[in-house]
Amino acid sequence: MRIGITCYPSVGGSGVVATELGKLLAEKGHTVHFITSGMPFRLGQYYRNIYFHEVDVNSYSVFQYPPYDLTLASRMAQVAKTEQLDLLHVHYAVPHAISAYLAKQMVGDRLKVVTTLHGTDITVLANDRTLKDIIRFGIEHSDAVTAVSRNLIEDTKQMLQVKRPIDLVYNFIDKREYYPRDMCDIREEYAPNGEKVFIHISNFRQVKRVPDVVKIFHKVRQKVPAKLLLIGEGPELPVVRELVYELGVARDVFFLGKQDSVACVLSMADILLLPSGQESFGLVALEAMACGKPVIASDAGGLPEVVQNGETGFTCAIGDLETMAERAIQLVEDEAIYERFSRACIERAYGEFSHTSITEQYEAIYKRVLQTETEPCSR
């Protein structure tokens, strides 16, 4: 198949999933064309069967704002014609599904559109009354729609009154990249006296509740010698830095900024803390599990579909920091329980969320829409 993929190229779960999926499809012999505003994160080298088409938005004086969505639609149509694409797989309903719909109108019905919902387009944008109708339009006029969790499917139907079938296709993990690594030497730089190491990875937005991470760590540290690694950057970073000093844990908290080798930094830690206010899936939780690291998370959104409470970690009520701290202490103090959880993490990540299985599910959806069938594929 000849597949066009559009996603946001910056760091983020949807961009990572879209890019990794494109690489896996190319490995299987499909031709993949990325149509994005910049080189996608994790794609900055040569890959066989993968091509990149940049969307260059011109700032004409007649426009108050650069018309990205229209320029994207035009570029999609151009690439679809010249490269004879079979379908466009777009990540996010707005603006990407709308742009793909316009491209299809220019190219013709032979070009199919598959839209994947990752969460923000539903949990955030769909709350905006001015956007709700156009998000619904993009979903209803796609040839197939997938979502990354059951919770997100339920939210989409409830918030937008969408009646069309939506395929459940979870995010995935590539076990060739995510596996437990020996990082003892580097770990000792942060925890020289055998302290337990906790980690948090996010874009430091309010919804991630990063101050809660620091507060949980503060509670844990009162009972267990521990260190905290904070990975990422974002608008909440100054707030978090200030809180670290207020709580007197500055010597035990390390701000490592953005890191490309996520599997390496995860392998330095014992437990991932993810007390988010909303997660449609929680890709970093899956990445941690694949590295054998149990997760202490909130029960927000799709997280309970990833983290099995009492087996691969613990899910607690949003904001219940006391329970999260207690569960974290329980895990790090009992070696037998920790080892059991760690093994279960790897088994679940490589089983339910296998890159091979998820890629096959997407291929089945592609084949279905190209045959103009309408029923969702079973899983």
Co-location of 161 and 101 in the same domain: yes
Co-location of 139 and 194 in the same domain: no
Co-location of 214 and 250 in the same domain: yes
What CA–CA distance (Å, rounded) separates 118 from 108?
27
- Give me the pLDDT at residue 57, please: 81
Residue 181, token pair as written in the block: 């690594």
Contact 64, 105 (CB under 8 A): no
Domain with 91 in it: 2-172+354-370
What CA–CA distance (Å, rounded) separates 123 from 153?
11
Q: What is the dihedral of CA 87, 91, 92, 94, to 10 degrees?
A: -50
- Give me the pLDDT at residue 216, please: 98
Residue 306, token pair as written in the block: 């990833």
pLDDT digits (tens, 9 = 90+) for 13-25: 888 999 999 999 9
pLDDT digits (tens, 9 = 90+) for 34-66: 999 888 877 878 899 999 999 988 777 666 777
Co-location of 332 and 365 in the same domain: no
Pairing of strands 167-168, 253-257: unpaired
Q: Domain for residue 379, yes or no?
A: no
Co-location of 35 and 114 in the same domain: yes
Q: Give the confidence band of 126 by pLDDT, cuts at 50, 70, 90.
A: low
pLDDT digits (tens, 9 = 90+) for 290-343: 999 999 999 999 999 999 999 999 999 999 999 999 999 999 999 999 999 999
Sheet with 226-231: list strands edge to edge.
253-257, 226-231, 196-201, 271-274, 295-298, 313-316
Q: Domain for residue 130, yes or no?
A: yes
Co-location of 217 and 315 in the same domain: yes
- Give me the pLDDT at residue 206, please: 95
Q: What is the mean pLDDT of the chain?
A: 93
Q: In this structure, what are the phi and psi dihedrals at residue 107, rounded to the nearest 5 degrees?
A: -90, -40
Model confidence at 210: pLDDT above 80: yes
Co-location of 22 and 128 in the same domain: yes
Residue 266, token pair as written in the block: 């995860």
Q: Domain for residue 152, yes or no?
A: yes
pLDDT digits (tens, 9 = 90+) for 341-363: 999 999 999 999 999 999 999 99
Q: Considering only CA atoms, which of 120, 128, 176 is closest in space to residue 302?
A: 120
- Give me the pLDDT at residue 377, please: 44
Q: Give the confidence band of 128 by pLDDT, cuts at 50, 70, 90.
A: confident
DSSP strands (E only) in the chain: 2-6, 31-36, 50-54, 87-91, 112-117, 144-147, 167-168, 196-201, 226-231, 253-257, 271-274, 295-298, 313-316
- Give me the pLDDT at residue 11, please: 56
Co-location of 158 and 216 in the same domain: no
Q: Give the confidence band of 247 by pLDDT, cuts at 50, 70, 90.
A: very high
Number of domains in the chain: 2
Answer yes or no: pTM beyond 0.85.
yes
- Give me the pLDDT at residue 61, please: 65
Residues above pLDDT 90, as percent of the chain: 84
